């Protein structure tokens, strides 16, 4: 059966894929008429002036660009929060020259706000305040999402087929993504600086949807913690995880090894409200499960029962998006398990189950990025957002 793509927009394709199991199809230019905006601009929020060697500088400020559609049909704006070593550019275009998710949702009636976290991109880096920067490299990118099948560090890596290029360092698409790498504040300092500015942004624009990716994941949980009445939903696209300890990917036959504690509060490196309350993350009683659910999955760390609850995250709908070939496919179930223990019931959207296959962690830059955006748009619609 063929669908007439001049009639059926990508959001309907995603829905049909969910219901009937059709393979996802890439959106073409006819689905994207000229973007009609009422306003398009930027501002800075947060930050403080500081004296450095007798001169005044500013640090902690966050760049925010916005697109307000001429026909704003959706009630809540979307705040797009990028991940590590990236900037808001990750949401405004793809490595093969197509539009990004910011334009996709603006065209569908959402006001969109795209941030550069403090110390990243157009939010200037102040080493005297932020400390030595962390840098990304091309070889790490090849292992994680450009040529992950070649390196085969986790069981799902071989399923990757959606990168729009060869993945070789000198390939044009690779140059686009590698060229976007930026120095960043080392984790968890990046979260602390950004969280302060993010709360001010939510206070400024009002009830909002948080759409977060990777290192930006804790910022969604913390925003909902700080402003549970204003964060109307969280769309967590493979957010930082797994809970508590990191995972090292070592290839066959062992695949996984436990790393150090990076998220001491489970989902975040900063305090979050538990019930019963805790004064220190050492009060969380962690236990390691006896064995993984299957050989291609990480063995989870979780709370010992009775588990403490996360009351503020129980107040809004949450979607967790997992790609088929990503390293997150090996451990996102641990994030879901931790949330479930804490009384939170997210919608876990595994893209492969909708016929959207072969994606990496960097899915918003890949060939079928519009199909994934369509899945998110449909979830928002079903939740009256």
User: Please, how many CA atoms are within 13 Å of residue 373, restricted to the half-sphere of its CB?
Assistant: 28
Is the separation of the CB atoms in 348 and 322 below 8 Å? yes
Helix, strand, coil shares, percent, the chain, to 5: 30, 25, 45
Q: Which residues of 122-149 are buried (b: 16+ CB within 10 A; e: fewer)?
A: bbbbbeebbeeebebebeebbbbbbbbb
Distances from the Cα of 18 to the Cα of 244, 310, 356, 372, angstroms:
32, 30, 9, 12
Residue the block writes with tokens 């698409």: 173
Q: Where are the beta strands (DSSP E) in 185-230?
A: 208-214
Q: Where are the beta strands (DSSP E) in 241-353?
A: 244-251, 255-263, 286-288, 301-303, 318-322, 347-350
SS3 303: strand
The closest of 377, 366, 384, 385 to 96, measured between CA atoms, is 366
SS (H, E, C) 119-138: CCCCCCCCHHHHCCCECCCH
Is the separation of the CB atoms in 28 and 5 below 8 Å? yes
Residue the block writes with tokens 């979050």: 272
Question: Which distant-in-sequence residues (6+ apart) come within 8 Å of 279 by Cβ?
Answer: none
- The residues carrying an active-site annotation are 214
Sign (positive/negative) of CA torsion 143, 147, 151, 157?
Answer: positive
Question: Which distant-in-sequence residues (6+ apart) come within 8 Å of 11 by Cβ?
Answer: 108, 374, 377, 378, 381
Q: Where are the beta strands (DSSP E) in 111-264?
A: 112-116, 208-214, 231-239, 244-251, 255-263
CA 139 from chain centre, in angstroms, equals: 22
């Amino acid at each position: 059966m063929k669908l007439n793509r001049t009639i059926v927009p990508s959001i309907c394709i995603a829905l049909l894929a969910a219901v009937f199991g059709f393979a996802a199809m890439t959106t073409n230019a006819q689905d994207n008429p000229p973007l009609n905006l009422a306003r398009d601009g930027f501002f800075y929020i947060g930050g403080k002036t500081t004296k450095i060697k007798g001169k005044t500088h500013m640090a902690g400020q966050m760049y925010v660009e916005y697109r307000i559609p001429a026909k704003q049909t959706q009630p809540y704006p979307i705040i797009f929060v990028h991940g590590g070593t990236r900037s808001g550019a990750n949401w405004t275009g793809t490595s093969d020259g197509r539009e990004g998710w910011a334009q996709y949702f603006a065209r569908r009636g959402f006001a969109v706000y795209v941030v550069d976290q403090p110390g990243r991109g157009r939010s200037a880096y102040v080493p005297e305040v932020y400390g030595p920067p962390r840098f990304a490299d091309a070889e790490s990118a090849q292992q994680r999402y450009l040529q992950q099948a070649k390196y085969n560090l986790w069981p799902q890596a071989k399923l990757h087929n959606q990168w729009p290029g060869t993945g070789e360092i000198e390939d044009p698409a690779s140059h686009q993504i590698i060229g976007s790498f930026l120095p960043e504040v080392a984790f968890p300092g990046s979260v602390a600086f950004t969280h302060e500015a993010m709360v001010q942004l939510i206070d400024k624009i009002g009830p909002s949807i948080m759409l977060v990716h990777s290192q930006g994941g804790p910022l969604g949980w913390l925003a909902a913690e700080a402003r549970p009445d204003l964060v109307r939903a969280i769309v967590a696209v493979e957010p930082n995880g797994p809970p508590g300890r990191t995972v090292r990917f070592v290839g066959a036959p062992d695949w996984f090894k436990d790393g150090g504690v990076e998220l001491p509060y489970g989902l975040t490196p900063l305090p979050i409200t538990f019930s019963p309350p805790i004064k220190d993350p050492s009060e969380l009683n962690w236990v390691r499960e006896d064995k993984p659910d299957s050989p291609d999955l990480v063995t989870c760390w979780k709370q010992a029962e009775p588990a403490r609850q996360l009351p503020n995250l129980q107040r809004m709908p949450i979607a967790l998006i997992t790609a088929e070939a990503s390293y997150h496919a090996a451990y996102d179930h641990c994030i879901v398990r931790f949330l479930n223990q804490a009384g939170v019931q997210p919608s876990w959207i595994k893209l492969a189950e909708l016929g959207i296959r072969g994606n990496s962690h960097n899915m918003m830059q890949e060939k079928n990025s519009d199909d994934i955006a369509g899945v998110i748009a449909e979830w928002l619609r079903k939740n009256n957002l």
